[in-house]
Structure 1
Amino acid sequence: MKTIQIKFKTLLFALLVGIAFTSCSKDDEQSINSNLNLDQIQGSWTRVGGNQPANNGMKINVSGNSGVITYKAPGNSVELQIGDVKWKDIVAQDETNYRYEELGSNGSYYPSSLTFGVDDTLRISVDAAPGAGYIQKWVQNPSPVSQINDGLVAFYSFCGNANDESNNNNNATIFGATLTEDRYGNSDKAYLFDGINDYMEVENSQSLENLNSQMSMSVWFNTTEYYYTGKGWASLLAKSGNSTSLDSRQFSLFYNDDGDIYFNNDVVGNFSFDLDQWYNLTLTYDSGTVKTYVDGVLINDIAGIEPVVSNQLSLMIGYDTPGVTEYYNGILDDIRIYNRILSESEVTRLTNEDLGCSI
């Protein structure tokens, strides 16, 4: 398989660390306003324009980590390996009007460039003859809903009720919380907690109890006011029942008015949250390593977290009793708990797409 070398001209720093882009228009070859890394870029891509690669291949080089895209035939899925990270299932559409056979047809590598973000696309263009001026244009396919819901233990879309939509029957019992508008202005699609005595309780189940080696949690919230017990707290989730022991939590997610984000007793990130503002907070736990995301952006990756110990206590929503009891004051929506690690591309999708009421 013949290959061509590709260089990145719009990467501001190594993709292996993460790359930041600024927004652009169709005619402006800057890039979209997003923080991206390899895990977010991987996924299913469809070629929507440009020159057909036919059966030629391409070689890509990112900070010394080489990989090869191999086209088996137009229309077939292929994989691009960069170091230990894959860009999966790049799909070449069969466009017989475009050919790419000149590119690399003599077995040599020709410098090309990759631009991500123009028209929300990825473009590969050829900078040298033969084939100078050839461009391929790709768009990323969204993950199927079934994939984003794989491993769901509990899902509360709050579309008129507090039922679990993961089919695990982890339904929540409502104590005082009332239906309200969600972040899109839709009536009765989120729940308001008064910060005094409102909360929800989900009885223990095997699916919730078994989350001790891997898990992910994602919550949309809009905090009205902190619950003050010497410090202001916003308590989102806590699998601790009514126990007051700090060691009773199997898992919990909350933050304070200094922006410290807690997973159980450990600070796993810091972010300056404004009141009366919607945010998505997503956390993944993998055998002592926690990744914390705010609005789809990874803000911290920390190892050495205390191990999660299973318990048979209820899951509390908007309520945390260990130490000092705190009630949540604000709106909660689209709460998801998984028994697996979400990828960064999945976290981005949870932030950018309305996936509530659609499982």
Structure 2
Amino acid sequence: MGIVHDGQGEHELGPMEHSNAHIYYAREDLPVPNSFSCGTEEGSVDRAHDVPEAIEGERSVKCVRFYWEVNYDIFLAKGSVVNTVNYVTALFNQSAVLYMNDGISITLNQVFVWDVASPYTGTTILEQLTYFQNTRNSFNGDLAHLLGLAGGGGRAASLAGLCNPDNDNSMCYSGISTSFSNVPTYSGSVFVVTHEVGHLLGSNHTHACAWNGNNTQIDGCGPTAGYTEGNTCATGPIPPSGGTMMSYCHLNPVGTNFLNGFGPQPLAVITNSVSAAPCLITCANVACGTVFGSSASNITTTSAVLNWMPASSAIAYDLQWKQVGAASWNTVSSIAGTSYPLSGLSPWTGYTFQVKTNCSGGASVYATAVGFTTAGNSLSDGLVACYPFNNTSNDVSGNGHNGTLDGPLPTADRYGVPNAAYAFDGVDDRIAITDLNTWAINNEISISFWVKALESKGNLIVWAWPDIASDRLLVSPHYFHTGSNDFAWTFGTYDGTGKCYYTGYPLYGEWEHYVVTSSTVSNTMKIYKNGSLFDIEQHAGSLTDLDRTLYIGGYFLANFQLHGSLDDLTFHRRELTAGEVTQLYVSGTPCAPRITVAAKVFLDGPYVQANQLMNDVLRTAGLIPGIEPYSGLAYPMVAGGSGTAISAGVTTSAGNNAITDWVVVELRAGRSLCGARYAHRIAATGRRCGGHGWCIACCVRRNVRPLLRRHPPPQPLGCDDRCTDRALRVTCCGRLHQSGHEHLWHCGPTAGGDAHDPMDGGCHPQRPGEVRRWIERPRSHPRRHRRCGAHGDPFRAIPRGGCEH
């Protein structure tokens, strides 16, 4: 964030809400500010009479320490405790700039964030302040400030907040928004928190009849906008240069000018109030701020980066860490920054760490310890159950937690492979698992799955039944129960520490990958979507009663049944790291991972140079999807070595029924595929890159997967890149090379108006069958070509979807 004065006016650089992008804009282009109003009543204690104005540049020698409490609605808007703390800390810093410009030193002593439903449910600023006073009987600071989104304004309890024997009089509430502008640009959020604190520090509104030594107004902005208070007096003037921090001039065309600060008289009241407060300490003796916002990132099997938010007055930090359950801490002293790379850890092990602040005058206490778990050696570590749903509901992790199928039907998975996922009808389809009591997932759990939801409803992926609100296990993407499309993740108490709930996100009706985690070690619940962190809450639940049935797809209530397709469901009894989540998203489940084979392996596999014969080792080894393309031809296919189960009539080498094999090649966005045959490369267009080579049709669109023919096919029009997104079949064909049959498919240079070499010599045999007829349509002009070995029709166009022998 920054401010630029360039001679043409004032410009600001700041982050955009809900985005990683930043915006650079002119201050004068901002719209008229909001209509904030303050509910603080005019004080009975008048400190403005006969008070000398503060001397410009004079600073208070005492510091006011603040306790800030953040309501649950702000946490929901920001998505995590870390994001919330970052936001309100930045907001406090903006307010601190305004106070420091006028010589008042303030510091943020502690931030408390409600990451579960709070008692602050009022709809007015008075209700919110009252709830705050009734709930918070003590706090870590001189003044306490509650922030929330409700109310549309602010209210301070009194004009005598400092050192008041009744804590209720040292509290205020501010209704802020989810964004602000950098000082000195006006924004409602910065104004309201600064304004309400000004009341607690002793200042009335500038339109109160309490100023100038004669109980008159400093300005008339409040009455002009319809707000009067206290004793009746003449309406004051409207300041042409804008109002000050304790005015209502933001409701007038002149606006509130942050460059005007508090103004001489309100500042004198505040300065004297701070200087006279006996409970305040001097700035030099301000205690080290306590570290908050600690977290671990970049977690691997043996290392992690430990992070924390900067604390006030810090010159260095001390770190202590240990394995969970260890008797003593390991200490790292005098760390200059706010992160530390920790190495030498053990895989799949829980660790905890704590940080304290070192200042010139002493040190803080250690902050609350934070935990994390290192990654496993593999995704098989801690794997409880794995359901790839390849036409079965059995657990293939080796633990035997098999499911009982009741209704779901096999369907294509996210790659289009048939019978590799299950479709749920949204009415009563489900899979039941009855041995949940053997899973040992009471405190640590991660659940991964792919889902294609067709509508927003209950869409329960897993649900432990009978359902217990205080001991619930439930996962539901695209959950429509409160009027919006949400994500519900519950592990333990529904309305407390066991709930992670993301409100409002779009339904696209496409395959999506999710991972949910809950860990008492890290004290977090998380939701990942498509490999990225979607939501995090700084608490964790636990499951007590495992003597229940785990239902996949819902149970009992039609509104909560899954309507869509589900695939690759896994359960781990540990918290997966961010890196492991990415691995699941990219590579698939540990029990049925996708097999990536280089194009050269595909090309070399069927053809043996030594004996010039084809072999079928890839398919018989089960490495090729066993059902394509035969399902499209209505031929049943048996994977794993038995080949096709078809009649003898389709085993010939001629005609449309000639058997050919297909393989899947997956391409990432912007990538090209080069296949090697006799060390010759093939470009992304399918044309050779020098010499004779195999022809491979490739697409560079997103996540397309050409199906490439790999046995000697009938000969069509040469290399034809027929590309469509997703379910894409590309026939890779060519013609015989004049030197013989060792080059099965070949795309040669243009010659004689053709896109292929002219055909010289006779027809050469190919295995496993012979080419009976070869037909080619020239690009530039029609002509007949030699036909060998069998009678055939004259030249005619080849259908787009077919090749002939």
TM-score by length of 2: 0.26
Which residue is 1:222 aligned to?
452
Flag the 1:219–1:261 CA change in 2: closer, same or farther, 3 A.
same
Question: How do residues 295-306 of structure 1 correspond to structure 2 at under 5 angstroms?
Answer: 295-306=530-541
Flag the 1:190–1:85 CA change in 2: closer, same or farther, 3 A.
farther
* Residues 208-267 of structure 1: per-residue CA shift (max 9 Å, x gap): 2x21111111111001123xxxxx321111122xx2553463x21113142322222324
Cα distance in 2 between the residues matched to 1:344 and 1:87: 19
The Cα shift of 1:188 comes to 0.7
Q: Of the candidates 592, 606, 611, which is equivalent to residue 357 of structure 1?
A: 592
Q: Is the 8 A contact 1:200 1:317 kept in 2?
A: yes
Question: How do residues 46-57 of structure 1 correspond to structure 2 at under 5 angstroms?
Answer: none
Highest RCO, 1 vs 2 (Cα 8 Å, sep ≥ 6) = 1
Q: Is the 8 A contact 2:299 2:578 kept in 1?
A: no
Which residue is 1:105 aligned to?
none
Cα distance in 2 between the residues matched to 1:218 and 1:176: 22
1:83 alignment partner, SS class: strand
* 1:262 and 2:482 matched: no
Length, aligned pairs only: 233
One-letter amino acid matched to 1:337: F
Cα distance in 2 between the residues matched to 1:271 and 1:348: 24
Cα distance in 1 between the residues matched to 2:383 and 2:455: 30
* Residues 26-66 of structure 1: per-residue CA shift (max 9 Å, x gap): xxxxxxxxxxx98458579xxxxxxxxxxxxxxxxxx999x
* 1:327 and 2:557 matched: no
* 1:235 and 2:460 matched: yes
The Cα shift of 1:206 comes to 3.8
* 1:198 and 2:423 matched: no
Q: Please, which runs of 5 or more residues in structure 2 have no aligned partner?
A: 1-19, 22-81, 84-294, 303-309, 311-315, 318-338, 347-374, 595-805
TM-score by length of 1: 0.56
Cα distance in 2 between the residues matched to 1:87 and 1:268: 35
Cα distance in 2 between the residues matched to 1:190 and 1:87: 41
1:283 alignment partner, SS class: strand
Which residue is 2:413 aligned to?
182
Cα distance in 2 between the residues matched to 1:83 and 1:239: 40
Flag the 1:181–1:40 CA change in 2: closer, same or farther, 3 A.
farther
Flag the 1:325–1:272 CA change in 2: closer, same or farther, 3 A.
closer
Q: Is the 8 A contact 1:237 1:320 kept in 2?
A: no
1:299 alignment partner, SS class: strand
Cα distance in 2 between the residues matched to 1:154 and 1:235: 18
Flag the 1:238–1:204 CA change in 2: closer, same or farther, 3 A.
same
* 1:293 and 2:524 matched: no
One-letter amino acid matched to 2:511: W
Q: Is the 8 A contact 2:531 2:581 kept in 1?
A: yes
Flag the 1:343–1:305 CA change in 2: closer, same or farther, 3 A.
closer
2:580 alignment partner, SS class: helix
Cα distance in 2 between the residues matched to 1:306 and 1:238: 16
Flag the 1:270–1:345 CA change in 2: closer, same or farther, 3 A.
farther
2:582 alignment partner, SS class: helix
Q: Of the candidates 253, 261, 265, which is equivalent to residue 475 of structure 2?
A: 253
One-letter amino acid matched to 2:544: V
Q: Is the 8 A contact 2:517 2:575 kept in 1?
A: yes
Q: Of the candidates 530, 538, 543, which is equivalent to residue 308 of structure 1?
A: 543
Question: How do residues 82-161 of structure 1 correspond to structure 2 at under 5 angstroms?
Answer: 83-86=340-343, 147-161=378-392
Q: Is the 8 A contact 1:43 1:87 kept in 2?
A: no
Which residue is 2:574 aligned to?
340
One-letter amino acid matched to 2:553: G
Cα distance in 2 between the residues matched to 1:321 and 1:290: 27
One-letter amino acid matched to 2:529: V
Which residue is 2:167 aligned to?
none
1:348 alignment partner, SS class: helix
Q: Is the 8 A contact 2:431 2:552 kept in 1?
A: yes
Q: Is the 8 A contact 1:173 1:200 kept in 2?
A: yes
Cα distance in 2 between the residues matched to 1:160 and 1:86: 43
Which residue is 1:115 aligned to?
none
Cα distance in 1 between the residues matched to 2:547 and 2:436: 8
Structure with a larger share of its residues in strand? 1
Please say which of residues 194-203 and 283-292 is displaced more in the overlay: 283-292
* Residues 157-215 of structure 1: per-residue CA shift (max 9 Å, x gap): 1122111011111101100101110001111110000111111001124432x211111
Which residue is 1:318 aligned to?
553
Flag the 1:206–1:309 CA change in 2: closer, same or farther, 3 A.
closer
Question: How do residues 6-25 of structure 1 correspond to structure 2 at under 5 angstroms?
Answer: none
1:349 alignment partner, SS class: helix
Q: Is the 8 A contact 1:175 1:199 kept in 2?
A: yes
Flag the 1:214–1:182 CA change in 2: closer, same or farther, 3 A.
same
Flag the 1:274–1:312 CA change in 2: closer, same or farther, 3 A.
same
Which residue is 1:166 aligned to?
397
Cα distance in 2 between the residues matched to 1:41 and 1:245: 34
Which residue is 1:25 aligned to?
none
Flag the 1:330–1:212 CA change in 2: closer, same or farther, 3 A.
same
The Cα shift of 1:86 comes to 4.5
One-letter amino acid matched to 1:221: V
2:417 alignment partner, SS class: coil
One-letter amino acid matched to 2:562: Y
Structure with a larger share of its residues in helix? 2
Which residue is 1:211 aligned to?
441
Cα distance in 2 between the residues matched to 1:307 and 1:244: 15
Which residue is 2:108 aligned to?
none
Aligned-pair identity (%): 24
* Residues 89-140 of structure 1: per-residue CA shift (max 9 Å, x gap): 9xxxxxxxxxxxxxxxxxxxxxxxxxxxxxxxxxxxxxxxxxxxxxxxxxxx
Q: Is the 8 A contact 1:38 1:87 kept in 2?
A: no
One-letter amino acid matched to 1:252: L
Cα distance in 2 between the residues matched to 1:244 and 1:162: 23
Flag the 1:340–1:245 CA change in 2: closer, same or farther, 3 A.
closer
The Cα shift of 1:309 comes to 2.0
Cα distance in 2 between the residues matched to 1:321 and 1:291: 27
Q: Please, which runs of 5 or more residues in structure 1 have no aligned partner?
A: 1-11, 19-36, 45-62, 66-81, 90-142, 227-231
One-letter amino acid matched to 1:154: A
Flag the 1:358–1:297 CA change in 2: closer, same or farther, 3 A.
closer
Cα distance in 1 between the residues matched to 2:565 and 2:527: 21
Q: Which has the larger radius of gyration?
A: 2
One-letter amino acid matched to 1:234: N
Cα distance in 1 between the residues matched to 2:301 and 2:519: 22
Which residue is 1:50 aligned to?
none
* Residues 270-295 of structure 1: per-residue CA shift (max 9 Å, x gap): 46242421111111101252011111
The Cα shift of 1:84 comes to 4.4
Q: Is the 8 A contact 2:455 2:507 kept in 1?
A: no
The Cα shift of 1:337 comes to 0.5
The Cα shift of 1:308 comes to 2.3
